[in-house]
Amino acid sequence: MTARLRVATLLGAALALGACTSTIGPAQPSEPTVASTIPATITVDSRAERLSPVHSLARAPQPAMAPRFQAVLVDDPCVDRDLLAPVASDVTLTVLDRTYALPAGYVPVDLVPATRAGLTGTSGDKLVHAAVVGDLAAMRAAWEAEGRRIELESAYRSFASQAATFNSWVARLGYAGGLVRSARPGHSEHQLGTAIDVTSAGWSERLGDWAVESAEGAWMASHAWEYGFVMSYPGDATGVTCFGYEPWHYRWIGREPAAAHRTSGLPLREFLERYATG
């Protein structure tokens, strides 16, 4: 393990950028309240994304899971609402789904280019949370050692970038289809800076099961957890994740939580609800 970087344990501490002044608080199990106004049609600010300053490039401590789940989350997460995401024992373990969201102004405290993990080309240009770098670098070295070439198609996305992504899918599939294929802005794990979309040569925009039909996808499905990355939206859990199967989407939660998640057999959302909130 390399040197460590302190990661804020509360999402509210990282809201220095953006106009939103909301803080993240415990979820209310009763009638939902609106965390932010997210219209069906999103207008995207054309200005360049604003990044927070890089305070440190040292390695973050591994996320520590709470000994028991304390937050009472809604039991119908497939309903589209805009509740503020509940406080987690570590910001990297935040529950985000179609109900729980980040404020529009949330930007991770430490964003760095993926070149810090040894990725090159357009992959290296993607931004990730500094906490991810050590494990991403180790995973990149492991797949290269086995002759795999895996590329980052996407990593950190701001609220505005996610709005553009969501709008593009709505334009292609209609609003109902877009909701299944893409997260509304604020609800995307990419806004945390700890989620990546990965691909390999010839698979961009291609239909099919990347995790089964490509050597690179199969490698990720088998080994990503060893480096703290888990598949957020597996094909056998769409009724719980409320999104379509995404074999290319992996979220870093740390090595120990990822190992515990694998042992639990739970979809990521249920795992985070049970073990990470507190």
Which range has the worst mean pLDDT, 6-10, 178-182, 189-193?
Answer: 6-10
Band (pLDDT 50/70/90 cuts) for residue 166 is very high
pLDDT of residue 207: 72
pTM of this structure:
0.80
36 pLDDT above the threshold of 50: no
The helix-helix angle for 268-275 and 255-264 (nearest 10°) equals 110
Which range has the worst mean pLDDT, 41-45, 168-172, 227-231?
Answer: 41-45
What average pLDDT does the segment 185-213 reach?
A: 91
Residues 6+ apart with CB under 8 A from 263: none
Strand (E) positions, the chain? 83-84, 100-101, 111-113, 127-129, 151-154, 195-199, 229-231, 249-252
Structural class in CATH, domain 80-99+107-202+209-278: alpha beta
29 pLDDT above the threshold of 60: no
pLDDT of residue 274: 83
pLDDT tens by residue, 218-271:
999 999 999 999 999 999 999 999 999 999 999 999 999 999 999 999 999 989
Band (pLDDT 50/70/90 cuts) for residue 206 is confident
Give the angle subtended at the CA of 147 by the CAs of 146 and 149, to the nearest 5°: 115
What average pLDDT does the segment 84-102 reach?
A: 92
pLDDT of residue 5: 36
pLDDT of residue 208: 82
d(CA 44, CA 108): 20
Pairing of strands 83-84, 100-101: parallel
Q: In terms of C-beta density within 10 A (0-12 exposed, 13-18 middle, 19 or more buried), how is residue 25 classed?
A: middle
pLDDT of residue 72: 72
Domain ranges for the chain, please list them.
Answer: 80-99+107-202+209-278
Higher pLDDT, 27 or 66: 66
pLDDT of residue 68: 59
Band (pLDDT 50/70/90 cuts) for residue 119 is very high
